Amino acid sequence: MIDSEINNEGDTPLVSVITPVFNSEMYLERMIESVIAQSYSNWELILVDDCSTDNSKDIIAQYAASESRIRFFNLDKNQGSGAARNKAMSNSRGTYLAFLDADDIWLPSKLEVQTLYMRKNDLAFTFTSFGYISSSGIVLNSVRHAGLNMIDFDKLVHGTTIGCLTVMLDVEKTGIRKMPDIRVKQDFALWAEILRDGFIAHPINEKLSLYRMTDGSATSKKSKLVLSHYSLLRSTLGLPVISSMYGVFYWSFSGICRALLIKFKK
């Protein structure tokens, strides 16, 4: 485990946590509680509701009324998680951005470990290992390891996955950027844009988050995602046809391997 001791106020810059919300009443409370439980206390949680029709807004409002670090915004029409994240990022005040979807969970040391590591090593972009949790809240045995290898643009687009819930960016270095206006894989496109500009994603090979496996999530619709991923590589990022096909093949293959591993380890 990385030594995560925070020594003084100069080591505790504000972290803005970016969270899109859409009909997430089943999971919102546990997600918010996982942020409140962080050992690193200098954070702001920015939640943007994308026109939910359930009780998500009421849950957020209750937390925001009692916790000054929680900030709440609404979109005036349903636009997808990318637009919600962009709204949150445009209202962020932190040196660092971290990303956490409404159904996922952070482990208590997540922000502390990652922030200190970035400050000690003067890094702009880090990601970590993460585990999995079932829709009913059961923690699964499988872990997606960040590994030890840094990721550049070529490695990312040719098959590497970086979990959105694990990413932290130093926006004083990268600048605050917008995710593209696409319904899925906006996070991947943002990482690609940053890495294409010469930044490197540095791994922290420690499980600090739990990704929820839900059948209704956008990322669970694998067949459609294959076409979306090709479109992202070819149209959004402008890669040649062969490179795009190569990237889709390795991305799909690694995804199948991960799915089988998760199923085997349940």
What is the token pair recorded at 219? 């990322």
Mean pLDDT, consecutive 10-residue segments, the chain of 266 residues?
47 94 97 98 98 98 97 96 96 98 98 97 98 93 93 87 95 94 86 96 98 67 66 70 66 57 54
In this prediction the pTM is: 0.85
CA atoms within 13 A on the CB side of 128: 29
Would you state the pLDDT for residue 243?
73
Would you state the pLDDT for residue 249?
61
* Sign of the alpha-carbon dihedral angle for 140, 48, 228, 200: negative
Would you state the pLDDT for residue 228?
73
CATH hierarchy code of domain 12-216: 3.90.550.10
Would you state the pLDDT for residue 226?
73
Is the Cβ–Cβ distance between 241 and 234 less than 8 Å? Answer: yes
Would you state the pLDDT for residue 7?
45
Is the Cβ–Cβ distance between 252 and 245 less than 8 Å? Answer: no
Would you state the pLDDT for residue 247?
66
Q: Name the burial class of residue 36, with classes exposed (0-12), middle (13-18) and buried (19+) by CB atoms within 10 angstroms of its CB.
A: middle
* Sign of the alpha-carbon dihedral angle for 148, 154, 157, 159: negative
Integer distance in angstroms from the first to the last C-alpha of the chain?
25
Residue 169's DSSP bridge partners are: 97, 125
- Dist. CA 124–CA 209, nearest whole Å: 20
